[in-house]
Amino acid sequence: MIRLERRREPSRLWSYVTPVLAVIATMIAGGLMFAALGKDPFEVIRTIFWDPVLGEFAFYYRGQLLIKAGPLILIAIGLSLGFRAGIWNIGAEGQYIIGAICGAAVGLAFYPMDARWLIFPLMILAGAVGGFLWAMIPAILKTRFNTNEILVSLLLVYVAEQLLASMALGALRNPEGSGFPGSRNLRRYESSANTELFEGTGMHWGVVAAFIAVIFAYILLNRHMLGYQIRLTGQAPRAARFAGVRPNLLVVFCLGASGALAGLAGMFEVAGPAGQVSIDFNVGYGFTAIIVAFLGRLHPVGILLAGLLMALTYIGGEAAQSTLGLPAAAIQAFQGMLLFFLLAVDMLTNYRFRFGKREVA
């Protein structure tokens, strides 16, 4: 008989091995699914994992990789702080949209002035502040009236989407756009363009911000009192109060930080890869980042890797759809498997298998 036994303390070795194990298990299970769909499993997996990085057309895909991974990592880092403390911001998508609207509005307000040194930093600030303020709504409601931040932050996503549509059709619409919805293109406006720093790499300021966020989060969580308080609150809330942590302050900090980072991600996206405020500007980065945060075990370096892996499955998945004719649903199922296996093998860090008969107590 096989049974599970709780380890006396989490295994450090297994916490590193399990993500690798999960990726391998996903490849095997996914391969079986692709084979059942009548495709060559090895070719599909090569198309998803190998071609975008080292294949023939990798020069195109590599840029896409950072463009997709940047916002995912930036948002996920912010979310992970709250998740570590048991504060659940599910509405990063909304904060992302508001950050984009605020950033774009500042850029457009200065059009066509030529002062990048002033306008671009102001846009960055506006994006962060916009996301921060949008996240303050669930934060204040929670600290004042003890509302559930999961519900409030999530519902505010739909409010933000309506606001986005109204902006694209109204206040921010391009006056020279012959009535079409959508703002002026910020990428074509010198002072507001979030351009690639190195041609063809996909490396824009948002990606730089993501890397800086990873480093800051790492230092915060491992070296700073605030990070310690975040971890303590998540693991043992009563012990945290005993240690003098003020829970309300932590709620404001965690929601505020994740909102600001999501807002930044939105601003960099609207001024760069997306280019303009449009009705369908948001594509779900804020929700996918939740998966990235957990895939990366809420650890900054893990999130960096998870963001890149997630971006890879998106890009590789699209490539597999177009070159091999795989249905989009198969790619989504494949991504689902990845998350499933990751959470399933996670158990091995805290439990171990015991073989043989159970001793009679």
- What is the contact surface with other proteins in residues (CB under 8 A)? 8-10, 223-226, 228, 231-232, 235-236, 238-239, 241-244, 246
Closest CB 232 distance from other proteins, rounded Å: 6
Tell me the angle at which helices 205-223 and 225-235 cross, rounded to the nearest 10 degrees.
80
Q: Which amino acid is at 128?
A: A
Closest CB 226 distance from other proteins, rounded Å: 7
Q: Given the complex with other proteins, which of 277 and 298 has the nearer CB atom?
A: 298
Q: Given the complex with other proteins, which of 24 and 219 has the nearer CB atom?
A: 219
Q: Given the complex with other proteins, which of 232 and 331 has the nearer CB atom?
A: 232
Closest CB 259 distance from other proteins, rounded Å: 22
Closest CB 251 distance from other proteins, rounded Å: 17
How many whole angstroms separate alpha carbon 288 and alpha carbon 14? 25
Q: Given the complex with other proteins, which of 28 and 239 has the nearer CB atom?
A: 239
Three-state secondary structure call for residue 272? coil
Q: Given the complex with other proteins, which of 12 and 357 has the nearer CB atom?
A: 12
How many whole angstroms separate alpha carbon 132 and alpha carbon 135? 5
How many whole angstroms separate alpha carbon 102 and alpha carbon 57? 36
How many whole angstroms separate alpha carbon 19 and alpha carbon 14? 9
Closest CB 10 distance from other proteins, rounded Å: 7
Q: Given the complex with other proteins, which of 221 and 289 has the nearer CB atom?
A: 221
Alpha-carbon separation of residue 231 from 2, 138, 226 (angstroms): 34, 21, 9
Among 54, 71, 75, CA closest to 316? 54
8 A C-beta contact, residue 96 and residue 259: no
Tell me the angle at which helices 247-271 and 205-223 cross, rounded to the nearest 10 degrees.
160
Closest CB 241 distance from other proteins, rounded Å: 5
Closest CB 60 distance from other proteins, rounded Å: 44
**DSSP, res 173:** S
Closest CB 78 distance from other proteins, rounded Å: 19
Three-state secondary structure call for residue 175? coil
Q: Given the complex with other proteins, which of 171 and 243 has the nearer CB atom?
A: 243
Q: Given the complex with other proteins, which of 26 and 229 has the nearer CB atom?
A: 229
Q: Which residues contact 178 (CB under 8 A, 6 or more apart)?
A: none
How many whole angstroms separate alpha carbon 145 and alpha carbon 10? 37
How many whole angstroms separate alpha carbon 156 and alpha carbon 128? 17
How many whole angstroms separate alpha carbon 14 and alpha carbon 355? 19
Among 137, 298, 322, 318, CA closest to 221? 298
